Amino acid sequence: DIKGFVFDLDGVITDTSVLHGTAWHQLADYLGVAWSDELANGLKGISRMDSLEMILKAGGKENDYTQAQKEELATKKNTNYVAEVDKMTPANILPGMKAFLDDLRAKGYLLSLASASKNAPRVLSKLELADYFPKVVDPASLTHGKPDPEIYTKGAELLNLPASQCIGVEDAAAGVQAINAAGEVSLGIGDAKELGAADMVFANTADVTLANIEKALG
């Protein structure tokens, strides 16, 4: 029986995946690296420094910068991103997600957050959702990022639940891989072609309801 939900944040609870994408796109332009939908999708769920490495690699520039310069580039992106986050309000919660979280809480499901973002607490507070997630995996504590299962394993551990009693909720292919490797049930939100590895895929956040999940679980 499912007793807990381990949530990704960006692109699942709120539309920050677009803000991350825009900030990375700006940095890619600055670096002279061609931007593409493929590159943008590949960055979803990937940590800040790993994302920068992927962009540099896409442009064949991974050896053109020192570690200190890379840190500066990542900070530049983050400064732009945080400026956008600070404009956010609860209106930036994706359709249906507030109702879904309320329903989960009312029915006694345990919730934790498994976001790779160091800005996750700031985003939750802007959305006025911090109370829903007393348990947040600290991405600074991770040895490996998604698609490694570590973050989802820790998300279940924070709830004191076995992985098999948790549903992991994701918009990124790397995140679905991480959930599956952790042994949790994977729920993907987005393009079924991209998230084909998930146990269930919903096209939109508004479709993510307990009734639809129960139907999908059979």
Q: What string marks each residue from 38 to 67 as x (binds ligand G6P by CB under 6 A) or -?
A: -----xxxxxx--x----------------
Any catalytic annotation for residue 207? Answer: no
| From Mg ion, ligand G6P, none, interface partner of 154 (C-beta below 5 to 8 A by class) | none
- Is residue 92 at the binding interface for ligand G6P, with CB under 6 A as the rule? no
Contacts of 142 (CB under 8 A, 6+ apart): 116, 148, 150, 151, 154
At closest approach, how far in Å is the CB of 116 from ligand G6P?
3
For the four alpha carbons of 58, 117, 18 and 104, in that order, the dihedral sign comes to positive
Tokens of 215: 């139907």
Q: CA 209, CA 120: separation in Å to the nearest integer?
A: 23
- Is residue 170 at the binding interface for ligand G6P, with CB under 6 A as the rule? no
At closest approach, how far in Å is the CB of 51 from Mg ion?
12
For the four alpha carbons of 57, 113, 138 and 22, in that order, the dihedral sign comes to positive
Q: CA 152, CA 114: separation in Å to the nearest integer?
A: 6
Quote the strand ranges of the chain, DSSP E. 4-7, 110-113, 166-170, 185-189, 200-202
How far apart, in Å, are the Cα atoms of 124 and each of 55, 121, 165? 27, 5, 25
The residue from 5, 171, 201, 205 that contacts Mg ion (CB under 5 A) is 171
Any catalytic annotation for residue 37? Answer: no
At closest approach, how far in Å is the CB of 124 from ligand G6P?
12
How many residues does the structure list for the chain?
218
The residue from 116, 158, 179, 213 that contacts ligand G6P (CB under 6 A) is 116
- Is residue 114 at the binding interface for ligand G6P, with CB under 6 A as the rule? no
81 sits in which H/E element: helix 67-85
Residue owning tokens 């994408």: 21
- Is residue 117 at the binding interface for ligand G6P, with CB under 6 A as the rule? yes
The residue from 14, 112, 115, 205 that contacts ligand G6P (CB under 6 A) is 115
- Is residue 78 at the binding interface for ligand G6P, with CB under 6 A as the rule? yes
- Is residue 184 at the binding interface for Mg ion, with CB under 5 A as the rule? no
Point out the residues that are catalytic. Answer: 8, 10
Contacts to ligand G6P by CB under 6 A: 10, 17, 20, 43-48, 51, 78, 115-119
Residues that bind Mg ion (CB under 5 A): 8, 10-11, 45, 171-172
